[in-house]
Amino acid sequence: MEISTLTMYHCLAFVWYFFIAYSITHVRTEERPSEVFLYGGQWKYLTVLNLVLQAVFYGVSFLADVLRLIKKLRCAKCVISSRDLLFSVLAFPVSTFVSVSFWALYTYNRELVYPKSLDGVIPLWLNHAMHTAVLPFALLEILATPHRYPAKKKGLILLGFVAFLYISWVLWIYSVTGEWVYPLFALFSPAGLVAFFAGSLAIIVSFYNFGEFLNRMIWGQSTFCF
């Protein structure tokens, strides 16, 4: 993809995710169901955190493109390194995990992840923007431009650390409120919950590897040429 076209795409994607993140974080308080958005607000949901993550990623990508356009190559290389790390370790695996896991659980029993009471608060288009569109955006990014992946050990350590932080946040909310972020968690015993978290981590690691595989299959081991 030409750099000017790529710049426009990343700019539009950034605006889109900023708009979606703004929309979901400004749901009017009086419209919120009593069992949702209490302690921790929207920031306890991985879906919302992912929207912010994607907005940051596309903002960094847009900055990298602009720097390349104006020939600030030394600065561009630094920003591109940050962009690639952000995409490989977080943006791709998290967005893929959010989309696949949400719709799998929604199909099984929507009350476990997205109570019916939310239908009157979050419009259908916004639900799909949060849970459906994130996956094609992630795949399109791989097709649009190559990304340098870090050493496997480094990438997986960073991904595991972020996963640990989110799980710790979920457990902290439960310790304070006595309520789980997702009703699904109430179905498990402590051992079952550990197994569920471990399984979820294994799935998101597989998405990390899948993203690396796609990137290598499409772009090979090539690097950027400024």
Give 2-45 pLDDT, tens digit per residue.
888 999 999 999 999 999 999 987 775 445 554 555 677 788 99
* Structure tokens belonging to residue 99: 């989309």
Percent of the chain with pLDDT over 90: 71
Residue 72 binned pLDDT confidence (cut-offs 50, 70, 90): confident
Q: What is the DSSP letter of 114?
A: S
Torsional class of 220: left (φ above 0), alpha (ψ -120 to 50), beta (otherwise): left
Q: What is the pTM of this model?
A: 0.90
User: Residue 224: is its pLDDT beyond 60?
Assistant: no
DSSP 189: -
User: Contact at 8 Å (CB) between 215 and 146?
Assistant: yes
- Mean pLDDT (the chain) is 89
Task: Pull the structure tokens for residue 97.
Answer: 């995990």
Question: 72-87 burial, b if ≥16 CB within 10 A, otherwise e?
Answer: eeeebeebbeebbbbb
> What is the amino acid identity at position 179?
E
Query: CA-CA distances (angstroms) from residue 154 to 38, 89, 161, 165, 167?
Result: 36, 9, 11, 17, 20
Mean pLDDT over 184-205 rounds to 95
pLDDT at 108 over 90: yes
Phi, psi of 136 (to 5 degrees): -60, -30
Average pLDDT over residues 130-134: 96
- Average pLDDT in the 117-126 region? 87
**N- to C-terminal Cα distance for the chain?**
14
